[in-house]
Amino acid sequence: MLFDDPVFGSRVLTIITLSFHVIYATIGVGVPLMIMIAHWVGIKKNDEHYILLAKRWARGFVVTVAVGVVTGTAMGLQLSLLWPNFMELAGNVIALPLFLEVFAFFFEAIFLGIYAYTWDRFEDRRKHFLLLIPVVLGAGASAVFITVVNSFMNSPQGFDIVNGQLVNLNPIAAMFTPAMPTKVSHVLATAYMTVAFLLASIAAFKLLKGSNHVYHKKSLYLTMKMGLIFSIAAALIGDLSGKYLAEYQPEKLAAAEWHFETEEGAPLLMYGILDGEGEVKYEIKIPYALSILASGSPTSEVIGLDQFPEEETPPLVIHYFFDVMVTIGMFMVVLSLVYWTGIKRKWPFVRSNWYRWLIVLGGPLSVIAIEAGWWMTEVGRQPWILNGIMTIEAAATSSDYVGLMVILFGGLYLILGIGTIVVLNRMFRKNPVELELEQQEAIKGGETA
Amino acid sequence: MSLEILGISVLWTFLFGYVILGSIDFGAGFFNAYSIITGKHHLITKIIQRYLSPVWEVTNVFFVFFFVGMVGFFPKTAFYYGSVLLVPASIALLLMIIRGSYYAFETYGSKGHKGYALMYGIAGLLIPASLSVVLAISEGGFISIIDGNPILDYRALFTSPLTWSIVVLSIVAVLYIAAVFLSWYANKAGDTAATNLMRKYALCWAFPLIIAAAGIIYELSSHNPGQFERILDLWWIFGLSFLLWIGTVWLVWKKKNYGLAVGLLIGQFALAFFAYGISLYPYLLYPYLTIYEGFTNEAMAISLVVVFILGLILLVPSIYLLLKLFLFDKDYVRGNRKNVKSNEKRGLS
Ligand code: HEM
């Protein structure tokens, strides 16, 4: 399969690269905001712990950014290498946001370089803080522009095809597609949420591993609070994403919900399995919930898969991707809400070991939710690469060597994934917070003496 | 100027930017690795790292600009080059991934890890080699269109002396450009030992560079006579470029004015690079695709140009700031900044 079917090979390579890159991309979008918040709190409260938090996050960040940059380069170039026919069309219609993305990233990279190397070059700390603004904006804008391209693939517009020729091209209309508002905001909110929970994982882990330093407690509280805000945002926007799907890509929603018959007052199915005859078993049924997700009213009609020809039905496996994403989303809202309330109300169990272990788990779980979300979006668009206009069969390369590339890239990503963890781990273990705080004290003491 | 010419000029300029910045970047990485093997590590590593750390991601962006802009201005290139470049471009990508990641692992994470430094040094040198193959392909003669799909003849490509001369030139150019640049940078830092070493490398690679360049022109005379003719028509630009080369070598030889030497070096490559580009005109892929057939629609072209101008307005001051802080700041270059020291100790330089 992999070696003699370039279409299949291209799909595999694209999903591997996307799945790997999206971890670093998410970190790349979210961490600058968290650094900025910590740095700001540090200046406001005049609390060295928060400044050090920003410093240490930034130090780890430059490593992940590097891997993000190169895998992102791979992703961008692979689009042309694996889907040349699609990119020829896309180049004509949707090249603008791709171009914009490069500018946004450029902007971010320059100021990140400056920020990371100028910790002691400003007398006034607030000036150094200002350098973060272009970093956060650039990172956010990159995510926005790339998601704009993905939105275009889901709800293409801004051109017409007459006799096989592209006419009436409008690059601006192609950017502002119906999918764009929900997608862009969902991607941003989930990136901020995921990063907040990842950083919370680290803090909780440190607390579990014996360090009882207040530095970690402050970090945990701050990141859980951010996580709470953004996970609520993610869920609310996710609900709007469902409404977008019901209107513009009903086949994707129906496949995600195993919703076979068009009906009013449709229930939401969670989990379950499909038996041989197309019957759903062992599912959890939430009455009317699908109608509410689709249009906000419990009695509205939701289009089922019976309305679509079989060859245009997306793979039914996306049901599980959807379930995983939503379950994790809900779980994280509850986890962070209970934690936050618990700290305010002094419930002892939120400081217990088992609760901290749940928080440690929350970071990786959020990453899994990101992956599940992208798989749902991408696999759920099958068989189309450009919804309703071009199939993946028509878009793919005819090269014979895709299979080999899958192996090479897959192997390299594996090595890099492990490498990142090893390097980050070594970097922070060699230089623990306690030591760094002591050194800072020493320098301060030396300066005033 | 027509939009087509404007588009290709912008892209060619970005590619040139990548060639220069990338050469410094990859060459520096290689010299670093080489110095580890030969035990001269202590002489040059600090200088190299101080320059590279804040700048390398910017270098990478030039490359991304080039290929994204290419697909934007000339979407048909995606169709023609996309399929046939799968193998060479993927190899370049794999090398870039190794290079970027291990660079970061070594520099930010495990300072002084020799394995990592060797890995990124060697990967870096192979990147220009694999990318330059694309230039050879664009000369034509290696692609045929079968059933409407472009097919690359790997055998012809890899047995062609033209391909190998281009590969050799790219590697030699990387080493030469990096050596001249680092001589200047080390000299500015007041580091005599490093300056002398880099100067020696620069002089070593100066002659091979000219020989490799002449070799390509010679190969072209049989491979693509039409282009060879056009190169001869542009002889005066190449001649000027050659004079600048003499100027650089002379200054480096006499240990005089390294700053001017770098300026002449950039001029030399700019002239040769653009003259070569003009001699390819109007082809993007000889003889199948010209910039006129491959061009995008007008609406997209205009919006790309507008975004490009707006982008430059934003970026030029930012790049200026970056250069001011890290390239032209004497204290930073000399390692006198407080943070340079403490970062270097902590492994964050
Ligand atoms: C909790 C309730 C959530 C709901 C109702 C929800 C709903 C949706 C829907 C309907 C889509 C598909 C949009 C499309 O294909 O056009 C989607 C995509 C996605 N979801 Fe969620 N989601 C939720 C939570 C989360 C969480 C917690 C994460 C990650 C931390 C996440 C990450 C994503 C990602 C990355 C995508 C792909 C990008 C996109 O299409 O917007 N979602 N979500």
- Whether B97 and A89 lie within 8 Å, measured CB to CB: no
Q: Which residues are CB-neighbours of A86 under 8 A, at least 6 positions away? A: A79, A385, A386, A390, A395
User: What is the average pLDDT score of chain B?
Assistant: 84
Give the gap in angstroms from C-alpha A42 to the nearest C-alpha of chain B.
Answer: 20
Q: Which of A47-61, A225-239, B129-143 has the highest mean pLDDT?
A: A225-239
- List chain A residues with CB under 8 Å of B86: 81-82, 397, 399, 401-402, 405
User: Nearest 5°: CA angle at A402, between A396 and A405?
Assistant: 135
A135 in contact with B at a CB cutoff of 8 Å? no
What's the mean pLDDT when you consider all of chain A? 88
Task: Give pLDDT tens digits for A68-86.
Answer: 888 888 888 888 888 988 8
Cβ proximity of A232 and A190 under 8 Å: no
Q: Do B93 and A78 touch (CB under 8 A)?
A: yes
CA angle, A188 as apex, A324 and A28 as ends, to 5°? 95
Range among A352-356, A357-361, B27-31, B71-75 with highest mean pLDDT value = A357-361
**Residue A149: pLDDT band with limits 50, 70, 90:** very high
CA atoms within 13 A on the CB side of A47: 16
Q: B327 vs chain A: nearest CA distance in angstroms? A: 12
> Torsion-angle region of residue B329: left (phi > 0), alpha (psi -120 to 50) or beta?
beta
Average pLDDT on A82-109 reads 88
Q: Which one of B57, B63, B343 has the shortest CB-CB distance to A109?
A: B57
Q: Ligand 1 centroid vs A244 CA: distance in angstroms?
A: 12
pLDDT of A32 reads: 94
Split at pLDDT 50, 70, 90, the class of A1 is low
CA distance A381 to chain B (A): 23
pLDDT tier at B54, thresholds 50, 70, 90: low
A70 to B55: CB separation less than 8 angstroms, yes or no: no
In angstroms, the CA B52 to CA B24 distance is 9
Closest residue by Cα to atom 39, ligand 1, is: A183
List pLDDT tens digits, range A190-227.
999 999 999 999 999 989 887 788 889 999 999 999 99
Say which of A82, A89, A118 has its CB closest to residue B339: A118
Q: Quick check: A90 and B76 CB within 8 A? A: no
Residue of chain A nearest B73, judged by CA positions: A91
Label residue A296 left, alpha or beta by phi (over 0 means left) and psi (-120 to 50 means alpha).
left
Q: pLDDT at position B87, please?
A: 87
> A432 or A196: which carries more pLDDT confidence?
A196
Minimum-distance ligand 1 atom for the alpha carbon of A186: 41
Bridge partners (DSSP) listed for residue A270: A284
- So what's the pLDDT on residue B346? 44
Characterize B37-56 residue by residue with b for buried, 16 or more Cβ atoms within 10 angstroms of its Cβ, and e for exposed.
eeeebebbbbbbbbbbbbbb
pLDDT of residue B41: 75
In three-state form (DSSP H/G/I as H, E/B as E, the rest C), the secondary structure along chain A is CCCCCHHHHHHHHHHHHHHHHHHHHHHHHHHHHHHHHHHHHHHHHCCHHHHHHHHHHHHHHHHHHHHHHHHHHHHHHHHHHHCHHHHHHHHHHCHHHHHHHHHHHHHHHHHHHHHHHCCCCCCCHHHHHHCHHHHHHHHHHHHHHHHHHHHHHHCCCCCEEECCEEECCCHHHHHCCCCHHHHHHHHHHHHHHHHHHHHHHHHHHHHHCCCCCHHHHHHHHHHHHHHHHHHHHHHHHHHHHHHHHHHHCHHHHHHHHCCCCCEECCCEEECCEECCCCCEECCEEECCHHHHHHHCCCCCEECCHHHCCHHHCCCCCHHHHHHHHHHHHHHHHHHHHHHHHHHHHCCHHHHCHHHHHHHHHHHHHHHHHHHHHHHHHHHCCCCEEECCCEEHHHHCCCCCCHHHHHHHHHHHHHHHHHHHHHHHHHHHHHCCHHHHHHHHHHHHHHHHC
What letters, b where the CB count within 10 A reaches 16 and e where it falls short, cover A362-382? bbebbbebbbbbbbbbbbbbb
- B339·A120 Cβ contact <8 A: yes
Q: Which of A119-123, B11-15, B326-330 has the lowest mean pLDDT?
A: B326-330
Contact call for B74 and A77, based on CB within 8 A? no
Among the partner residues A90, A110, A399, nearest to B58 by beta-carbon distance: A110
Q: What is the pTM of this model?
A: 0.90
Q: Are A291 and A300 in contact (CB under 8 A)?
A: yes
Which residues in chain B are contacts of A423 at CB distance < 8 A?
A: 105, 108-110
Given a cut of 60, is residue B60 above it in pLDDT?
A: yes
Residue B217: pLDDT above 60? yes
Which residue has a Cα nearest atom 7 of ligand 1? A238
* pLDDT for B331 beyond 90: no
* More reliable by pLDDT, B338 or B293: B293
pLDDT band at A35 (very low <50, low <70, confident <90, very high): very high
Which residue of B3, B21, B95, B105 to mutate against A (max A Cβ within 10 Å)? B105
Cα–Cα dist B305/A176, whole Å: 20
Whether B286 shows a pLDDT value over 70: the answer reads yes
Residue the block writes with tokens 């006799």: A163
Find where tokens 């707006």 sit. Answer: B310
B-chain residues near A91 (CB < 8 A): 71-72, 74-75, 78, 296, 300
What pLDDT shows up at residue B324? 79
Task: Give A443→chain B minimum CA distance, Å.
Answer: 11
- Where along chain A do its domains lie? 1-179+389-449, 204-248+250-380
Tell me how far the alpha carbon of residue A111 lies from the centroid of ligand 1, in angstroms.
31
* pLDDT tens per residue, range B2-50: 888 988 998 999 899 999 999 998 998 898 888 888 887 777 777 777 7
Average pLDDT for residues A231-238, to the nearest whole number?
A: 95
Compare all CA atoms of chain B with the CA of A420 and give the residue at the minimum distance: B105
Residue type, A305: L
Say which of B74, B297, B348 has its CB closest to residue A169: B297
Give backbone dihedrals phi and psi of B87, rounded to 5 degrees, phi first: -75, -55
* pLDDT value of residue B345: 43
What local confidence, expressed as pLDDT, does residue B348 receive? 42
Q: Which residues on chain A are in Cβ contact (under 8 Å) with B55? A: 113
**Amino acid identity, position A338:** V
CA–CA separation, B137 and A400 (whole Å)? 18
Q: What is the pLDDT of residues B140-191, one digit of tens each?
A: 788 888 887 888 888 888 888 889 999 999 999 999 999 999 999 888 888 8
Mean pLDDT of A91-99: 89
H, E, C per residue of chain B? CCHHHHHHHHHHHHHHHHHHHHHHHHHHHHHHHHHHHHCCHHHHHHHHHHHHCCCHHHHHHHHHHHHHHHHHHCCHHHHHHHHHCHHHHHHHHHHHHHHHHHHHHHHHHCCCCHHHHHHHHHHHHHHHHHHHHHHHHHCCCCEEEECCEEEECHHHHHHCHHHHHHHHHHHHHHHHHHHHHHHHHHHHCCCHHHHHHHHHHHHHHHHHHHHHHHHHHHHHHHHCHHHHHHHHHCHHHHHHHHHHHHHHHHHHHCCCCHHHHHHHHHHHHHHHHHHHHHHHCCEEECCCEECCCCCCCHHHHHHHHHHHHHHHHHHHHHHHHHHHHHCCCHHHHHCCCHHHHHHHHHCCC
| Percent of chain B residues topping a pLDDT of 90 | 17
The strand pairing partners of A301, in sequence order, are A264
Give the residue from chain B lying closest to A165, CA to CA.
B297
List Cα–Cα distances, B328 to B61, B196, B251, B342, in angstroms. Answer: 21, 21, 21, 21
Here the tokens at position B83 are 């399929």
pLDDT in tens, A300-316: 888 888 888 888 888 88
The per-residue pLDDT for A235 is 94
Pocket residues: Cβ below 6 A from ligand 1: A 154, 179, 183, 186-187, 190, 193-194, 234-235, 238-239, 241-242, 245, 252, 325-326, 328-330, 366, 369-370, 373-374, 376-377, 380
Instruction: Report, as an integer, the average pLDDT of A119-127.
Output: 78
pLDDT in tens, A330-344: 999 999 999 999 999
Name every residue whose Cβ is closer than 8 Å to that of residue A160 and which is 6 or more positions away in sequence. Answer: A166, A167, A168
Note the ipTM here.
0.85
CB contact under 8 A, B99 and A70: yes
Structure token digits, residue B41 = 């590590």
Contacts of A92 in chain B (CB under 8 A): 75, 296-297, 300
B105:A423 CB<8 A: yes
Give the closest residue (by CA) to ligand 1 atom 18: A373
Residue showing tokens 């990147």: B127
Say whether residue A95 is in contact with chain B using an 8 A CB cutoff.
yes
Taking CA atoms, what residue in A is nearest to B65?
Answer: A102
In this structure, the residue with its CA closest to atom 5 of ligand 1 is A238
Residue B141's closest CA among B130, B150, B132, B129?
A: B150
Q: 């595999």: which residue's tokens? A: A12
pLDDT digits (tens, 9 = 90+) for A378-405: 999 988 998 888 888 888 887 888 888 8
Who among A81, A103, A412 is closest to B86 (CB)? Answer: A81
Question: What pLDDT is attached to residue B53?
Answer: 65
pLDDT at res. A448: 47
Report the distance separating Cα A19 and Cα A80, nearest Å: 18
Kindly report the backbone phi and psi dihedral angles of residue A269, in degrees, each rounded to the nearest multiple of 5, phi listed first. Answer: -100, 130
- CA A409 to CA A71: how far, in whole Å? 10
